[in-house]
Amino acid sequence: MSYKREALEIAVPILIVIALYAGFALYMGNWSPFMVVMSGSMVPALRVGWIIIVKSVPAAQIRVGNIIVYHSTDPEIPDPIVHRVIKVNYINGTLYFLTKGDANPINDAQAGFEPANGIPQARVIGKVVYVIPYLGYVVLFLKQPPVYIMLVALLVAFIVADFVSDTTHRKEREGEQADSQPKRAIPCVLISFFSNCVRSLEVEAQT
């Protein structure tokens, strides 16, 4: 029963966190609403290590001056790009957003990140709606391989130590309960043996 209780104590908070994250992600319309700024191309508006919260919005709601997150059309750039919209083009029923990093001397089309007309609306992940300064440094630090391996090792060690400690305490409690129980078998035999001996001595003494 204790194992089940401990499993529930661990699982319930995890499930609550997952449920809260899933609910927030659904509200934002994006399963990755939290992102960390990885470059200085948007200084001073955004700096490396800052966390941005991205919300999926209809393309028609994106305006010039908004900061958006999008997937580049360049296959060699796998990570999303976070830049500001400087122009909106409407071509054959599709919106295109020409973007540029605030700190960059050229726009993203000139840099080869997107077509000349801008990034098509289908490749836009969402719009930056909130910024959390500096907190992303923690995420970047934890993502370093040595730190990640160390944290995993510490977590495994903690789980093993907790399991061993719980097992030891359980055995000690069982031992204490066993010691508190009267041991009837051996004492009864010894009492019977000594009583018989006393009786035989009394008989011998009387004879």
Q: How many CA atoms lie within 13 A of 41 on its CB side?
A: 18
Q: CA 144 to CA 52: how far, in whole Å?
A: 20
Q: Which residues are catalytic?
A: 41, 83, 108
For residue 146, give both structure tokens: 């040595």
Q: Considering only CA atoms, which of 36, 38, 70 is closest in space to residue 53?
A: 36
Three-state DSSP state, 202: helix
The CA-atom distances, in angstroms, between 121 and each of 80, 99, 111, 148, 166 are 14, 12, 19, 36, 56
Three-state DSSP state, 154: helix
Q: Considering only CA atoms, which of 127, 114, 36, 28 is closest in space to residue 71?
A: 114
